[in-house]
Structure formats: C-alpha cells, structure tokens
Amino acid sequence: MMPNAVKILFIFLLFASEVSAQISSAPEKLPDTLIPGIGSSASGVMGSALARADVALTKSVINPAHLRGEVGESFMGKVYLESILSRGGNWELVSPRLGRQGIDGILMKFDKQGAPREIIVVEAKYGNSILSKTKVDGWQLSDRWTIKRMSALAKRYVEISQLNNPSSVKQPVKGQIARHKVEINLRDGEKGVFWRINAKDSWKYDGPGGTFRTAQQKAGRIGSFLDKTSQAAAKGNITYRSRLVNLKLEENTLRVAIGDASKMSNGKVPMTDTFDINLSDTRKGVYTRAVQGEIAQQIRKKLPHISQEEALSHAKSITGDATIQEMVESSRKSLARSIISSTGKSTAIGAVIFGGIEGTRQLITEGRIDFAEWGEQVTLGGTSAGMGALGGQGTVIMLTRSPSAYNSMLKLSSLLNLQSTSFVSNLAGSLVGGSIASFIFAYGGALTGQYDLDAANRIAATGIVATSSFLAAETATMTLAMTYGTASTGAAISSLTGAAAHNSALAFLGGGATSAGGTGIAGGTLVLGSVATVAMIGVTAATMYGFYLYDSYQDDERNRLMREYLLQDDSFLTKIIDKEFSRRYALIY
C-alpha cells in the first residue's frame, strides 16, 4: 500500500475511534459542532492528500511517443555499447542532444593515443516503431540522411573546439533546461558537458575543474573525424557502419534485435542478431533509473522552473512500483481526467466518513438510525469533501505550474528545512482543501436547515482550526526529523535534499529502514499521521471547550442580569403573583 493511502486509512481509523469514544462516554456533553467540524476538515485534508495533484500535473505533460523514443535511445546506448565492449576495443557512445531530427547515437572507437578510428551510426526504435522517410533526405539511416546529419554534427563539434573561454556554469540552471548538450567522456569516468538553452544562446561548460581544454581538444578530434568520414561518404567511400536497434520490453525481459542498415530496402532492415537481456535486480535498477531520468527530462521541458532533483522526485512518484515495461508503455492521462477521478474518490471518502460518524452517533444517542437525516449528512459530507479536494488540487497545480509561486514554495521549504517543494505545495493544498470542505459543510448545513447560522460559524471555525493544527503538527514533525534525524546510511538528513531527504525523514520516524529492523517509510508515515491526528483532535477539542466556557459564561451572565432586574423591581414580581392569583380565583368561583 502506498504511503499516502496508509496515512489516510490510519487517520480515518484513529479519528473514527476517537469519535466513537467521545460519543459513547458522554454524548450529552459533546458539543454539536465538534464532530462535524473535525470531520469536514479531515475529509478535505484526506481528499487533497490522496489526489497528489502535482504528480497528476507532471504526468499529464509527458508525451508517451516521445518518451518511448528517448527511452529507446537510452537503452540502445547501454545495450549496444555493452555488446561492442564485450568484443574489445575502446568504444564510446557519442550522443549529443541537439534536437529530435538528429542521429540517435554514434559509437566511436579510439586508439591508445585518443584518436578516433571507427564509427558505427545507430538508430533506435522501440516496440513496433519503424524507420521513417523524410521529405528531403529519404529514409532514416540511408546514406544521404546519415551523411547530412554527420556533417552537421561535425560542424557542431568543431565549433565547440574553437570556443574562447566559455562560461563555466553547472547545468541545469534553475528555471532553464539545456536543449543542446554535448557530452565529452574524460578520464576515470568523468564527463565534461558543453551546453546551451537554444541555438541563440552561447555555449557554456560544466565539468571538473581544469578539464575544459582537454574536453575541447577531444571535441576537436571527434569533429574532424566526423567531417572526414562524411566527406568520404559523400564521394561514395563509405567507411562507417550503420545499425538499426529494435528494443521491446516484456515484463522484466528486454528483447533486442539488431540489423545492418546498409542492407535496407524501402525502409526495411533485415534483423540478423537477436537476443534477450534479463533485467536482474542489478540491471533493473540501471534501466529503471534511465526511464525515470527521461521522464524527468520531459517534465523539465514543459515546466523548466522545476529543479532537476524535484523533477526526478516526480518521475519516481509517477513510476512508483510499476515494472519497466509499464513505465515505458503507459498512456498519457489528461490533467482534467485525473482531477475528476480524484474528486470523485474524495467525494466517496467524505460520504463514508460522515455516513459512519452520523450512523454511530444516532445509534448511541437515539438507539436507531433516521435514514432521512443520515442521508442528508452523507450527501453534505461527500459534497464538501469533493469540493475541498477540488480546491486543494487547484491550489497545488497553481503552485507547481507558476514559476513565481513555485519559487515562493521553494523559499518556504528552505525556511522550514523541509527540503521538498512538493511537500510544501501539498500542505498548502491540504490547508485550502480542508478549509473549503469545512465552509461548504458548515453553511450548506445551515442552508438546508440542519442547524442555525451560529452553529454553522462554529463548525467552519472548528474545521479551519482542525485543518491548521493537523498540518502544523505534520510540518513540525517533519522539520524536526529533517533537522536532527539520521539517514540509514549514517548521513545527517539535513545534508540531503529532495525526495532523498523526505523519504529518509519518514524512515527515521519509522525507527529506521526496514533493512535495519525499522518499519521504514510506511511506518514513518503512520507515525506522522498519528501525531498530526492526535494534535488535530486535541487542539480542536480545546477550541470547542473554549466555546463551551464562553456559552456557560453568557448563560451565567444572562441569569445574573435577570436576578438583578427582578430584585430591583419588586412591583414586577407582585404583578405576576396577583395575575396568577386572579386567574386561579376565577377558575374556582
């Protein structure tokens, strides 16, 4: 069960047990507005938490067709490079990201002096995708198509080799995404990356200190070799090899087929080398991270103000426990459809909560259920929860989509040491959702004649207090865990960021990771939910007790004033007594 669902179930059970205990122990002393107030806010908070509108938003921006293409390219590099490396030689994957119309990948073999010697041009297709035919250059992987793109790529590498001290800037920059990237493999597994936002932007360099010249020199050698190879091919001297790689996932098996594109006929390439790769636990992790990385890239293309780390966190939430095949082949779900679905679920949650609460109250206090009254409570509870969830989702979407609002959440997250903008946005959404649910339930009940305006005001106030106390306790607990907690690796959680910090804090609250004997994230989620729920019930009960004291004071004050008035005006009492005496005398005689 997912952590959010676990928390919601636990909160509901704890809340329901507390309600039953209060009703059964002293039903005559229970304020009429206490349970509706807490219940309406709880259903709104639960609905907003269940929705995860930020995940729905980021999922809606993913283009499945583009994702499969990008994943195919990523998998192709891993599969083909492993295959080439197994035969020996110093092969590297040259895979610049310069747009969707380029070559998927170029494998280049270097000699011991670092000079390029061989080239394999590779095009990747996922599933049933086939080579396409362009209007100007013919079929993909045809000589004309390949030579043109290889020549353009050569110019790009040569251009980079001639840069004069570009800015040294880490990428990606906040609020931007590098659409043009050229990676240069350095020694000891290090990489240098030349990047820019678009064709009009200037090139920048991101790499280990002191490696710019080395990366630039290698880019020059690659550019020269690509230019030499493309010029020779244009004259009919084809020295490169071209391959089509078809990839298809079937559960945890990656089926690979490789064909020689030089034998292509009318866009069809005979596939001569086929094999399967079993995605064991080790390999599965590598390929899963590759898919999540591509999803994060798509998210940042549509929402560039979101940091790479936050986008990756959303990608992990989107993929969840799905298999690699499910991750890659899932269809796009529209944002409107997700909102409608979540609102419907929240409406059902509210109806169930109030149906259970009202039914329990009537059985304990009256010994039977008035189904007409019960139905009104269920309808009102479901409606308020659904509308609250809708408002909460809208708040989260606005905070995630708007760059200025997102930056505000980022600053607040840093101030509270929560290390997760998503967590703060969802807290804000829950606050709005709980408040809306409380208002609709309160004043909806007043309009339908279930209680007067004064009671409605108190229900609304109780709901806002309940929502605020729940979220404040949750925030304070997570802040303490992130500030003073320790991750399972031994590192201070305060040194981590994003999803790693959030999950480590939950595991810390759960007594440590499951591998270390703790209850992990699920256990931490239960602890967090229980602390927040107890705080919500305690603070709300205190608020209602304050209302009770105020009402008692008002009653005592009215009685005092009445006594004083009667004692000051004896004639008033005399007139009442004479009138009553006369009435009784008339009845006798």
Task: Render pLDDT for 16-58 as a digit per residue (tens, 0 to 9).
Answer: 444 444 444 444 444 455 555 555 555 555 555 555 788 889 8
- With respect to residue 18, please indicate whether it lies within any of the assigned structural domains: yes
Spatial separation of the C-alpha atoms in residues 205 and 239, rounded to whole Å? 32
Q: Are 419 and 497 in contact, with CB atoms under 8 Å apart?
A: yes
What are the residues whose beta carbons fall under 8 Å from the beta carbon of 400, sequence distance 6 or more?
A: 53, 54, 57, 58, 303, 306, 406, 422, 425
- The pLDDT score that the predictor gives to residue 40 is 56
Would you say residue 460 has pLDDT above 50?
yes
Residue 116: pLDDT band (50, 70, 90) is very high
Name the range with the highest mean pLDDT among 34-48, 237-251, 442-456, 492-506.
237-251
Residues forming beta bridges with residue 259, ordered by sequence position: 244, 271
Residue 514 lies in a domain: yes
- pLDDT score, position 85: 60
| Cα distances (Å, whole numbers) of residue 414 to 22, 126, 171, 522 | 40, 41, 21, 25
Given a cut of 70, whether residue 419 has pLDDT beyond it is: yes
Q: Which pLDDT belongs to residue 269?
A: 93
Query: Helix %, strand %, coil % for the chain, to 5?
Result: 65, 15, 20
Q: Are 414 and 174 in contact (CB under 8 A)?
A: no
| Domain that includes residue 260, residue range | 64-169+210-279
Query: Residue 255 carries which DSSP code?
Result: E
242, 272, 307, 442 from 260: Cα distances, Å: 6, 8, 41, 71
What average pLDDT does the segment 223-249 reach? 92
The span from the CA of 553 to the CA of 565, in Å, is 18
pLDDT at 450: 78
Domain shared by 16 and 120, yes or no:
no
| 37 and 112 co-located in one domain | no
Predicted local confidence at residue 2, as pLDDT: 43
Report the C-alpha gap between 463 and 37 in whole angstroms: 4
Q: What are the tokens at 440?
A: 């609709």
50/75 same-domain check: no
Query: Looking at the structure, do residues 38 and 108 belong to the same domain, yes or no?
Result: no
Residue 511 has pLDDT above 50, yes or no: yes
How many angstroms separate the Cα of 436 from the Cα of each of 8, 111, 210, 391, 446? Answer: 19, 68, 57, 7, 15
- Joined together, the tokens standing for residue 176 give 């931007």
| Closest residue by Cα to residue 122 from 171, 66, 68, 78 | 78
Q: Could you write out the DSSP letters of every residue in 158-175? A: HHHHT--S-EE--SSPTT
Element (H, E) at 355: helix 335-366
Contact predicate 482/510, CB 8 Å? no
Structure token digits, residue 168: 């040294």
- What is the structure's pLDDT at 25? 42
Domain shared by 464 and 493, yes or no: yes
CA distance 304 to 498: 17
Q: Is 152 inside a domain boundary? A: yes
Number of structural domains found in the chain: 2
Query: Is 511 domain-assigned?
Result: yes
The helix or strand, by DSSP H or E, that contains position 463, with its residue range, turns out to be helix 453-484
pLDDT tens-place string over residues 331-384: 677 889 888 988 888 888 888 877 887 788 788 778 888 898 888 888 888 888
d(CA 278, CA 584): 103
Residues 288-292 have a mean pLDDT of 86
- On whether both 54 and 68 belong to a single domain, the answer is no
The total of other beta-carbon atoms located within 10 Å of residue 372's CB is 7
Q: Is the pLDDT of residue 301 over 60?
A: yes
Torsion sign (Cα): 323, 324, 329, 330: positive
Sequence-ordered list of residues with C-beta below 8 angstroms from that of 585, at least 6 positions apart, any chain: none
Q: Is 238 helix (H, G, I), strand (E, B) or coil?
A: coil
Helical packing angle, 421-447 and 371-401, nearest 10°: 150
Q: Which two tokens stand for residue 349?
A: 């949650």
Whether the CA torsion 396, 402, 403, 407 is positive or negative: it is: negative
Do 115 and 148 lie in one domain? The reply is: yes
Residues 394 and 508 in one domain: yes
Interstrand relation of 138-139 and 105-110 (parallel, antiparallel or unpaired): unpaired
Q: Residue 241 has what pLDDT?
A: 92
Q: Is residue 303 part of a domain?
A: no
Are 535 and 527 in contact by the 8 Å Cβ rule? The answer is: no
**What CA–CA distance (Å, rounded) separates 280 from 341?**
35
581 part of a folded domain: no
- Residue 501 · residue 493 · CB < 8 Å: yes
Q: Does position 413 have pLDDT exceeding 50, yes or no?
A: yes
487 in the same domain as 448: yes
In a domain, 19, yes or no: yes
Distance between CA atoms of 4 and 389, rounded to whole angstroms?
15
357 and 344 fall within a common domain: yes
- Both 80 and 23 in one domain: the answer is no
By the 8 A CB rule, do 446 and 452 touch?
Answer: yes
Residue partners of 419: CB distance under 8 A and separation at least 6: 413, 482, 496, 497, 498, 501, 502
Looking at the domain assignment, is residue 126 inside a domain? yes
Cα–Cα distances in angstroms (integers) from residue 393 to residues 322, 385, 428, in the given order: 24, 12, 10
| pLDDT higher than 70, residue 540 | yes
223 and 123 share one domain: yes
Q: Which of 45-49, 142-146, 543-547 has the highest mean pLDDT?
A: 142-146
- For 311, other C-beta atoms within 10 Å of its C-beta total 26
Q: Is 260 exposed, middle or buried (0-12, 13-18, 19+ CB in 10 A)?
A: middle
Q: Which of 264, 279, 294 is the last residue of a domain?
A: 279
User: Which of 136-150, 273-287, 459-473 bottoms out in mean pLDDT, i.e. has the lowest?
Assistant: 273-287
Mean pLDDT check: name the lowest of 135-144, 195-204, 358-367: 358-367
Mean pLDDT along residues 394-405 = 92
